[in-house]
Structure 1
């Protein structure tokens, strides 16, 4: 029996990385090495519950850390946190060496506000370093390049999705070069927003409990979101590694889901009333982020850099993208027949997903799905909100 292939993972403690580590280890075909800032963190300990996980202490903004993570690995899965770095910096960390002005954020007690301290460093791209260190198959974690898919309409330019989408196209373009492919082949895994965000706190549309029922506020008009279920993510990424599917951009989703459908399904599963409020976009941005709406969308992005995008501008475009993607006929589309062939047991509807979440909650002793959305029980889905959206890169 051949030895498991070592896969190096950047972003392994994030929402998407956890199921990737889980399913790669469960297969027995892969061993895993994860770059992390803290091997004693709760998230890294969660990974260790799936099996042996080698930890490399460092940051994706460090050439030494990236080299140590990639060295000796057969494969790599890289999903950089765009809300850490911001659009501009993520692009360079993904592909090129450049002196970048970035900053760290610290809270000043006397002034009662966050102070930005600039840092200067040279960074060499993860993709290029993976080639240098001998990685043979590379998977880039991506999101839809909505700006391009819209026909480059400025209203659709959303920094945290377009940075990943641009780099996905760049990486796949390099993959068409025979000399590059002879050293390392590449694929892309594209997701939509996580379905779990509809049941968590500190998201663009957390659930609320009002008048004995569940309420979601989301300015979507007649649009829809191709939500991705985190439980399916590991299966799709494992497929890419198993088949060494170079050149493939595997675009995952449950379905194009409306919040009206979410509310109706929640009523079926829980027996509780539920509704969706199609609120005003600008009012929703203010209500969700408050004063932070005008802060940088990437918490380590330089606020003085003209290229830095604000939370408001970022999520205005983000909602515009989904408002124009209804019915799988708009800007962002999915090939659901392909997903059915790749993962026949995939989650295919919001009702199916809610029933699975309800069963998981009951088995774990958390109570029903209705109990789970009570304000005191809401948990973080995204690592950046769990970490407090601040700190060093």
Structure 2
């Protein structure tokens, strides 16, 4: 019996990494090495109990990245822009990982990427947490790392946090502030991402060299709100906020996120049929809300 190939999963205790680790375990075709800065975390210790090799690794240390990839067939790499909000640092981390993968002969580098909006719009829009990932994606191709770049849409899970419906004072109404007007927004549950990665790893000849833009549903904000209202039994409405008002909200990254929504309104093409081929069990928004009603609590 041949030995299973080893996949190194970076960011293993984050939302994407966790999904990838669990999908790899469920599939059983590969050995898993999980990389985290803190192996003592409960989520990391749970992975140890599941038979995962958990190692400590810092994205800012080339030696850590090299040690984590040593002996691996492939890897999944995701960076965390929100943590530091520095495009240059994110690009450096991604390029370092790419260089290490090239030097070690990694056979399949799966990169959690996003579009280079600055380049695509000729400099009219800048979305640093997209643009940096896009630059790393281009670098992977330039230096010849066998890679597949997966671009996630808005997470359905954002409706539990960032897009969470807010109660209007003195009214029995909740509103969702997503400044998309009547333009549909692609979405997907990050929990459904892991099986996509596994499918790509199992079919390298089909997907190496590809950039895949994922989505499992395409809805207007009014349609998202209607589904939330139906499933949660609340009156949830579109706040109908303009992108101009959004960028004036004053929180960190408000202007950048406004530009992200401007880019989304340009309707960058996403591939729902391919997403469903890669994970036939991936949920649309209504299925996801139905399955996660308890996480909304009483809003």
Normalised by the size of structure 2, how large is the TM-score?
A: 0.90
Displacement of 1:257: 2.5
CA distance in 1, matches of 2:174, 2:158: 15
Structure-2 separation of matches of 1:269 and 1:23: 27
| Alignment RMSD | 2.1
Match for residue 356 of structure 1?
291
Equivalences, count = 294
Q: 1:209 aligns with which of 155, 162, 167?
A: 167
Quote the residue 1:54 is aligned against.
53
Contact 1:8 1:69 in 2 (8 A): yes
Distance in 2 of aligned mates of 1:59 and 1:262:
38
Residue 127 of structure 1 corresponds to 98
User: What is the rounded CA distance, in whole Å, between the counterparts of 1:44 and 1:286 in structure 2?
Assistant: 39
Contact 2:158–2:164, Cα closer than 8 Å, also in 1: yes
Tell me the SS of whatever aligns to 2:54: strand
Residue of structure 2 equivalent to 1:33: 33
Superposed displacement of residue 236, structure 1: 0.7
1:110 aligned partner: none
Say if 2:200 and 2:278, in contact at 8 Å, map to a contact too: no
Secondary structure (helix, strand or coil) at the match of 2:15 reads coil
Distance change in 2, residues 1:285/1:52 (3 Å)? farther
**Residue 152 (structure 2) pairs with residue 191 (structure 1):** yes
Q: Indicate the residue corresponding to 2:216 in structure 1.
A: 254
2:35 touches 2:55 (CA, 8 Å); kept in 1? Answer: yes
The 8 Å contact of residues 179 and 246 in structure 2, kept in 1 or not, is answered as yes
CA distance in 2, matches of 1:339, 1:271: 30
Bigger Cα Rg: 1
Shift of 1:46: 4.8
User: Residue in 1 aligned with 2:22?
Assistant: 22
Structure 1 residue 84 displacement after superposition? 3.0
Structure 1 residue 48 displacement after superposition: 4.1
Residues 71 and 134 of structure 1 are in contact (CA less than 8 Å); yes or no, is this contact kept in structure 2?
no
1:314 partnered with 2:283? no
1:31 deviates by: 1.7
For structure 2, the 5+ residue unaligned runs are none
Contact 2:182 2:221 (8 Å CA) reproduced: no
Q: What is the correspondence of 1:134-173 to structure 2 with a 5 Å cutoff?
A: 134-149=105-120, 151-154=121-124, 156-173=125-142
Structure 1's unaligned 5+ residue stretches are 96-124, 176-183, 294-310, 326-331, 375-393
State the distance in 1 between where 2:277 and 2:243 align.
37
Would the alpha carbon gap of residues 323 and 250 (structure 1) be closer, same or farther in structure 2, given more than 3 Å must change? closer
Q: Are 2:16 and 2:191, in contact at CA under 8 Å, matched by a contact in 1? A: no
CA contact (8 A) 1:144 1:191 kept: no
* Other-structure match for 2:269: 333
Give the secondary structure class of the aligned counterpart of 1:212: coil
Give the TM-score normalised by structure 1: 0.69
Deviation at 1:159, TM superposition (A): 0.1
Partner of 1:241: 201
Q: Secondary structure at the match of 2:154?
A: coil
